[in-house]
Amino acid sequence: MKKLKIMINKKKIKEIIKNYFKDPLFLRRWEYPYYTRQDDNQISVRITGCGRGWKYSYRGDSHMFIEDMYVGIMPFMIYKGESEKYPIYIEPKDTTKERIIARGISGNRGFLGDALCDFVRSTTQTLFQKGEILYELIYKKNEQGEIEEFGLRYLSSCCLFKIFGNYYQIVPWWIASKSNVKVGIYKIPCSKVLKIDFPKELGGKRKIKKIIKRLWYLGKNIFPEFYMESMKNNENTSFNLNDYTNSKYIEIARLTKKFGWNQRKLSDGYITEYYSMVRQLRNKKAEIIIRDKIINDLNKYLNGEILNFNIKIIYENFHTIQNIKEQEERLKKGNVEFMDIFNKTKL
């Protein structure tokens, strides 16, 4: 009996030692299956607590700028008549594929119009924050080998690297512990990744990140710190608050020139109506460039190596660059009401 107990104890000790060498840092203790794998077809793991690229995103003026740029980029189909005014469909027409695509790009929307509007808005928000966005394709095939459903899961650029045509998600222990996932290196083929970059016509990834960083800094404090200190100490300074506010407005206006941001109508007190309309048209042009870039990249991916739907998402009655150029010419020539231009360029 004693020998049997000794043998059992030896086996337990050996098992403990083996498990220790398999996982010497006890990393599996913080692993949760829900975070590690959401779908059978998913390769990447969900990363949280990694601030790379998000430091300056949602504070002060940067918050308002990003919000104003993505909210109005697509119509809201919940309003009466919007879906008829802006029809969105696929060609060639296929009800089954349209339903699959709608659910795939939105997660829960059954109608393509609603789904596309949600997808473009959320993608635009991230593009302004990070300069790029990546999605991992999750899909399921039927017995005939056809795609019967798919989804696009947001893929954090944190710990993500592209090496020789493939993406690698390298998760170190300090990130794994925060994200409740397993330490490891996950190879993700390029065919499973949809990547959308910020349009080069508007400065690309590097430029938008610089703009967001500077906007964050300018909106960090309403008043300079030295001015606040002097107010606390009841000290008189020669600081001119109006000049400070004006210089801040001018710098923000220059930073966002290509995007025509009106700083939530703050510009109305600084520029004429004519230049206000000039910036309004620039804003619409930027929206068109971003919207077309997102939908074109999505169309390419839907017809790519894995999905291969052989369709194209069509969106009608949306403004084009040519429409905006025509309104710019009308504005230059004069004899036009500003409200007329505004009404002809709004969604």
The first and second tokens of residue 259, run together, are: 């995007």
pLDDT at 57: 53
Any residues with CB less than 8 A from the CB of 76 and at least 6 apart, and which? 82, 117
Can you give the pLDDT at residue 53? 45
Helices (H), the chain: 2-22, 33-36, 60-71, 82-85, 95-106, 112-130, 173-179, 204-218, 225-232, 241-255, 273-302, 321-333, 338-345
Residue 116: CB atoms within 10 Å:
26
Please report the pLDDT score of residue 198 as a whole number: 97
Tokens of 229: 């200190």
Q: Which residues of 251-289 are buried (b: 16+ CB within 10 A; e: fewer)?
A: ebbebbebbbbbbeebbeeeeeeeebbbbbbbbbbbbbb
- pTM reported for the whole predicted model: 0.85
Compute the radius of gyration of the chain from its Cα atoms. Answer: 26
The sign one gets for the Cα dihedral 216, 221, 224, 229 is negative
pLDDT digits (tens, 9 = 90+) for 229-271: 777 777 777 778 788 888 888 899 999 999 999 888 766 677 8
Q: Any idea which residue has 């083929």 for tokens?
A: 189
Predicted pLDDT at 36: 47
In the block, residue with structure tokens 């919000």: 67
pLDDT beneath 50: ranges in the chain: 34-36, 52-54
Where do the structural domains in the chain lie, given as residue ranges?
Answer: 24-199
Cis upstream peptide for 75 (omega within 30°): no
As to burial, measured by CB atoms within 10 angstroms (0-12 exposed, 13-18 middle, 19+ buried), residue 318 is middle
Q: What is the pLDDT of residue 239?
A: 76
